[in-house]
């Protein structure tokens, strides 16, 4: 009976790995490799240059209707990765 559980465990691990490896490529725009974007965790500074009237504005879904950054988009570096990572 024990053997059966081991097999099940291995099967579940294989399934998890398969899901992880077949995940799609990152499509979120990466940070430009310049000095401005070197401190990628300095997220309080980001909206100043990427507000809705900026040249390279954040998409609508980053902002609340009040114009401030949505809580789930505050930490830019969660999604916007450096060029090579």
Residues engaged in binding ligand HEC (CB under 6 A): 28-29, 31-32, 34, 36-37, 40, 42-43, 45-50, 56, 58-59, 61-62, 69, 73, 75-76, 78-80
Q: How far is the CB of 71 from ligand HEC (least distance, A)?
A: 10
Q: How far is the CB of 84 from ligand HEC (least distance, A)?
A: 14
SS3 31: coil
Number of continuous H segments (helices) and E segments (strands) in the chain: 2, 0
Question: 61 near 70, Cβ under 8 Å?
Answer: yes
Nearer to ligand HEC, 16 or 45 (CB): 45
13 vs 7: CA distance, rounded Å: 10
């Amino acid at each position: 009976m024990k053997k059966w559980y081991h097999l099940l465990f291995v099967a579940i691990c294989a399934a998890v790995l398969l899901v992880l490896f077949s995940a799609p490529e990152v499509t979120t725009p990466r940070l430009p490799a310049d000095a401005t974007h070197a401190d990628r965790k300095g997220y309080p500074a980001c909206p100043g240059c990427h507000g809705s009237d900026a040249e390279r504005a954040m998409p609508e879904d980053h902002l609340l209707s009040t114009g401030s950054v949505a809580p789930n988009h505050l930490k830019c570096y969660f999604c916007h990765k450096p060029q090579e990572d």
